[in-house]
Structure 1
Amino acid sequence: MSVLAEETGQTMDEATNARRRRFTREQNVFVRNAIAVNDLEDPTKANVTLPLFKGIGPSGNPTYYILTETSSFIISKFLGVNYSPKLIHGRGSEGSQEVTIKRGLIQFRGDVDFSPVRRVEPGDGPFAFPPSVAEPGSIGDDEYSSLVVLPSGLVINAQIVANSTGIHDRIVSIDIPRRRVTMELLDGFQGGDQFYYRLVTDATAPGPAAIELGTLAPRMAKLPAFGQSSLFENSTFIGFSPVTNGETGADNPERQSLSSTILDDDLDPINVFPFDPDNDQEFFNNDSPMWDAHLNMWTEEAIDPGLRRRIVSIE
C-alpha cells in the first residue's frame, strides 16, 4: 500500500484518508480517491481528476494507469476505489492479464499503442449508427486487458492511459510528475438520476472503442461471460442497453443515442445503467466496470409520430 501512496505523490496518511473525501449528493461521486470533479453542471464538459500510477510496460518503458476498482472489499475501502466482486470471475480466464511486480511497480504483459488517429464517419443507412468508418485512437495488443490479476490473486481494474506512444483520447490533462490525470466523464442515467462518474477506457470491438473514445482491447472479449450478468452467474459483466437511433442534435433536450455521438461532435450517447455502485455492500454486490452492451433501437412506428424521447431508467 505504501508503494501506491508514493506512486500518486501522496503521503501514507493522505492515501489512507482518500476514501474520506467528501463530495455533495448532487455530484454523485462513488470513487472516493478522486482528487476533484469538475464542470458537473454541464455534462458535456464533466471530468474527474484521478491519481495516476506508474507501471512498467512489457519492454521496460514507463507506463501510466488509473485504478478504479478491486475485487476486495477491504482493499477497495482502503484505497477509496469501487468494490467489484464480479472481477474475480475473470481471474484465470483468457481475457485477463496476469502481471508481475518489479521494483515495487506493476510490470504489464500487455501494452497500448496511442499513436493511431481516431476516425469515425456516419453510416450509409437511415441513421448514423452503425458508422461507415470506425478507427479507434488507441489499440491494445494481444496481451492487454484492464482486468489485471496481481501475483497475490487480487483482481484490479488497471487501465493504461499513457505511455511513450501517447495518451488516451479521454484525457483532458495529465501531470506525470504530480501523478494526476483528468479525464472526461461519461454522461448517463440510472433510475432517473444523472450519472457523472462513469468512465469509458476500453472496448472489445472497433465500433464502440472509436465512438466512445476508448482503447480497442480485443483480449477482453474472452472474459466470461457475455449475456450473463445476474448476481449468481460466474460473469464479470453487468448488462446495459445503449440506444442506437434516438434523438440527435446538441441542443435537443431529448438527445440520446450512439447516432448522436457520431453526429453531434462526440457528445456522450447518454447510456442507462441498471444500478449504482454500492461500496458499503460487501455481500450480494453485483457491480462491475465491465459492461455487456445489448443494443436497442426505436421502431418506425415510434419515430414517425414523434414518440422518441430520452430514456432515463431501465425500469
Structure 2
Amino acid sequence: MNLKSTISCCITAALLPVFSAHAVVVARGQEGIPLEEGRTAPPSIFPDEHVITAQPSPSEINPSFLGPVLLMKSGQVDLVKGTVTLPLYEGKLESGETVWSIITDVSDQQLAQLHGAVFSAKMAYGITDDNARMARVEQSGAFIFNKGKVDFSPGLSITPGNKPDYFPPKHAQAGSVGDADYTPMVKIAGGSAVYNMPTVAENVSAEKLNTMCDGNVDHTLVHDKVVRICPKTKSVTLNMTLGYTFGKPVFYISTDSNDKTIAALETSTYTPALSKLPFSLEDASPGEFAERIYAFANGPVGINNPFRQGVNSALSDKGSHGPLNVLGGIPTINLDYSPMWRLFPVKWTKEAIAKGYRTKLTNAFDIENAAEKGLVVSLVDGKAPKAAGIIINCPVVYRIN
C-alpha cells in the first residue's frame, strides 16, 4: 500500500462513526482464575455482589443462559466505573432551542436492532391522546421536535428523613424538570415506531458541551446522570443503576419520572407528562405499556450488610449503589419488557422485622410470595403490593449474570 492510499484509509477511518450497533464492554474488571466459572465482581457493584459470571459464559451461546448480556447494543459499558457511553443525537425544537438526546429503546424490532437499541413492543401501547412528541429528520440528520422542553438549571437536592426512617426525605428537588409537553417517547414522521428518546441537554451549544468532554460536567446544563458529554465525538456517558430481575443483577439508566420525589432519588428528570400514560392494566394485558418495578422503603441497612436493600439504605449508607430495586421482565428473560416501569413501593411489616425475616429479595415472585404470607405490604395502603401511579423511565443496558 502506498503513502497516498494509507493516508486515504486513515482519513476514511477517522470519519467513521465512533459507535456501531454492536458496541462492546470496554472494561470488565479482572477476570477470574482460568477454568473457574465465577470471578470477583467489579467495583461498580461491590459489595452488593461479590462474585459474578466469568467468561467464557453460557450466555455467549444463548443469551437466555447464565452469563452477561449487553442488551443495549449501541452502548459501550464500563463495569469498573458503572457507566455506559451512548451515541449523542443533535436536534432542535421547532421553536429553535438545541436538543441533545439518546435513543435507548424502540417498539420496532428491526429498527431496534439497526440502532443498537433495546426492543420493547409494549412501548407502542403508551401512545394514547397526547403522550408522545413528534419529530422529523432534516437532511443534515438533525431531529426536529414539535414540542417538549426540559429545564436543567434546578439543582439536585435531597434531605433525608430522620433515623431510622430516612424515607420519605424531608426535601427532594429533581435536578431537571420537563414542561407539560415533554415526554421521552417520540414518533418520527413517516414511521409508526415509538422511540424512547430522553433529552440529556437542551438550549446549550455544541461548543459549550465540548468543554465537558473531559468529564468536567456542569449539571445545571445537562442531565444529572451524565458524567461526560462530547458532541465532537457524538457521545455521552451516563451513570448506570444496579438492580435485579428474577434473581439476576442488571444495570439500567434512570432518565425520567412523573413523581418529583422519585425523580430526585433516581437523579432523573421530573416529567409530569408521563402521568398521562395508561398503567391500570396487568403486565401481560393487551394495551398495557409498562412493566413493574418494586422498591423497598425499609429494607436492611448497612453498606457491608450482605442483605441491604431499599430507599432507607440508599439515603443513609454512604457509598451504596442505590436502593437495589427489583424489576419485572427484561429481554432474554421475559416477553413483556418496557423501559417504562410502574412503581410498586413496598415495605416489610413490623411482624416480619420482629421475627428476623427481613432480607434482600431479588425476584418479583419472591416479593409477591412474601406478600401472600403477610410479610411484605404496599406502601400505599398497607395491603397487597400495587402500582402507586408513578412511572419511571429505566431502560435496561446490561445483564450482569
> Do Structure 1 and Structure 2 share a fold, with TM-score over 0.5?
yes
2:16 counterpart (11, 17, 21): 11
1:212 equivalent in structure 2: 266
TM score, norm. by length of structure 1 = 0.85
- Provide the secondary structure at the position in 2 that maps to 1:294: strand
Are 1:157 and 2:196 matched, yes or no?
A: yes
Q: Distance in 2 between matches of 1:294 and 1:227?
A: 12
Residues 23, 76 of structure 2: 8 Å contact kept: no
- Provide the secondary structure at the position in 1 that maps to 2:196: strand
Q: Distance in 1 between matches of 2:25 and 2:342?
A: 31
In structure 1, stretches of 5+ residues that fail to align are 1-8, 40-44
2:76 counterpart (35, 41, 52): 35
Q: Per-residue deviation at 1:81?
A: 1.0
Structure 1 residues 1-315: aligned runs within 5 Å: 11=16, 17-19=20-22, 21=24, 25=59, 26-39=67-80, 45-103=81-139, 104-108=141-145, 109-124=147-162, 126-151=164-189, 152-163=191-202, 164=204, 166-196=221-251, 198-224=252-278, 226-265=279-318, 267-278=321-332, 285-315=335-365
More off after superposition, 102-111 vs 79-88: 102-111
Q: Distance in 2 between matches of 1:216 and 1:233?
A: 28
Q: Distance in 1 between matches of 2:352 and 2:154?
A: 39
Q: Distance in 1 between matches of 2:232 and 2:25?
A: 25
Question: Deviations for 1:152-196, whole angstroms, at most 9, x for unmatched residues?
Answer: 222100011112261111111111210111111110111211112
Q: Per-residue deviation at 1:58?
A: 4.6
Q: Distance in 2 between matches of 1:10 and 1:285?
A: 38
Q: Distance in 2 between matches of 1:252 and 1:158?
A: 37
Q: Distance in 2 between matches of 1:245 and 1:187?
A: 18
Cα distance change on mapping 1:256 and 1:112 into 2, 3 Å: same
TM score, norm. by length of structure 2 = 0.68
Letter in 2 for 1:232: S
In structure 2, stretches of 5+ residues that fail to align are 1-13, 27-54, 60-66, 205-219, 366-401
- Provide the secondary structure at the position in 2 that maps to 1:208: helix
Residues 228, 238 of structure 1: 8 Å contact kept: no
Question: Deviations for 1:223-276, whole angstroms, at most 9, x for unmatched residues?
Answer: 12x232422330211112111111222232212111222223473110111222
Q: Per-residue deviation at 1:94?
A: 2.4
Cα distance change on mapping 1:238 and 1:102 into 2, 3 Å: same
Letter in 2 for 1:171: V
Q: Per-residue deviation at 1:73?
A: 0.8
Q: Per-residue deviation at 1:22?
A: 7.1
Task: Give the length in aligned residue pairs.
Answer: 294
Q: Per-residue deviation at 1:126?
A: 4.9
Cα distance change on mapping 1:84 and 1:176 into 2, 3 Å: same
- Provide the secondary structure at the position in 1 that maps to 2:192: coil
Cα distance change on mapping 1:28 and 1:295 into 2, 3 Å: same
Give the % identical residues: 29
Question: Deviations for 1:22-45, whole angstroms, at most 9, x for unmatched residues?
Answer: 786544321111123331xxxxx4
- Provide the secondary structure at the position in 2 that maps to 1:50: strand
Q: Per-residue deviation at 1:300?
A: 1.1
Cα distance change on mapping 1:162 and 1:229 into 2, 3 Å: farther
Q: Per-residue deviation at 1:99?
A: 2.6
Q: Distance in 1 between matches of 2:15 and 2:230?
A: 14
Q: Per-residue deviation at 1:121?
A: 1.3
2:217 equivalent in structure 1: none
Q: Distance in 1 between matches of 2:125 and 2:186?
A: 12
Which runs of at least 4 in structure 1 moved beyond 6 Å after TM superposition?
none
Q: Per-residue deviation at 1:21?
A: 4.8
Q: Distance in 2 between matches of 1:251 and 1:126?
A: 17
Q: Per-residue deviation at 1:20?
A: 7.0
Residues 258, 269 of structure 1: 8 Å contact kept: yes
Q: Distance in 1 between matches of 2:280 and 2:358?
A: 27
Letter in 2 for 1:300: K
Q: Distance in 1 between matches of 2:321 and 2:293?
A: 19
